[in-house]
Amino acid sequence: MSGNLNYSSWSIRALLMVRHLGLEVEEEIVPLDFPDTTTRLAEISPTRKVPLLIWDDETVWDSLAIIEWLAERHAGVWPKDQKARARARAISAEMHSGFPALRSACPMDIRARHDRPDMTEKLAADIARVDAIWTETRKEFGAGGDFLFGEWSAADAVYAPVVTRFVTYDLPRSEIAQAYMSAVMSHPLMVTLAAESAEEPWWIKYGSDGRSSGFIPSGNS
């Protein structure tokens, strides 16, 4: 169960890993920010949030918990090497619990291109930290491929929504970060996701007076 693919960054983290493993799940989207969204979410999710994985009689909420649920059952979620795996979990937990300035100034909007927001000190610090994470991880662990730990792993799924934000808001980045972003955006999982996001019929606006949503009139995209 996910929110809109274009906007729900937490949802796509879990979804990318479910798809990466090729699991047969029925994907359902609850569009966010509509008048009935909270009621619909309350019927299925103890937190009234997505993502949510319902598997037989188990209900697992929270993107990182879903990723760990997958990792307990399938290889290919976290890197094989123990040191790499510890780092992958550390940077993923850091993303999960941090970067408030980046998240609020640059809401995920995969299909759109927006002006770069005012560069406050806190936003610049978040951007620099993300760049440092990508650069250091690529240098230390990335030799086996184009992703943070070489092959695609959960760490890339966790950072994929951040990559799309760097694209959407044209955030400043180093050459190594740019190369990593290009690899992520060209991964087949992301190419598919970007196409699906572009086709979604809903819009969400993030204004100073809160969020609003609606349907894109047919004929527009």
Ligand X SMILES: N[C@@H](CCC(=O)N[C@@H](CS)C(=O)NCC(=O)O)C(=O)O
CB 221 to ligand X: min, Å: 22
H-type alpha helices, the chain: 9-20, 37-44, 63-73, 82-97, 100-105, 121-141, 154-168, 175-186, 188-199
Taking the least distance from each CB to ligand X, the nearer of 160 and 177 is: 160
197 binds ligand X (CB under 6 A): no
How is residue 79 annotated by DSSP?
-
Taking the least distance from each CB to ligand X, the nearer of 28 and 140 is: 28
Taking the least distance from each CB to ligand X, the nearer of 68 and 151 is: 68
10 binds ligand X (CB under 6 A): yes
Distance CA 158, CA 137 (A): 14
Other Cβ atoms within 10 Å of 221 Cβ, number: 9
Burial grade of 56 (CB within 10 A; 0-12, 13-18, 19 or more): exposed
37 binds ligand X (CB under 6 A): yes
Site stretch for ligand X (CB under 6 A), options 35-43, 70-78, 131-139, 175-183? 35-43
Site stretch for ligand X (CB under 6 A), options 57-65, 127-135, 138-146, 196-204? 57-65
Distance CA 89, CA 61 (A): 18
Q: Identify any residues that bridge with 205 across adjacent strands, giving them in sequence order.
A: 212
142 binds ligand X (CB under 6 A): no
Other Cβ atoms within 10 Å of 212 Cβ, number: 12
Contacting ligand X (CB under 6 A), which of 6, 9, 92, 135? 9
32 binds ligand X (CB under 6 A): yes
Please give the residue whose beta carbon sits closest to ligand X in the complex.
Answer: 49
List of residues contacting ligand X (CB under 6 A): 3, 8-11, 32, 37-38, 41, 49-51, 62-64, 96
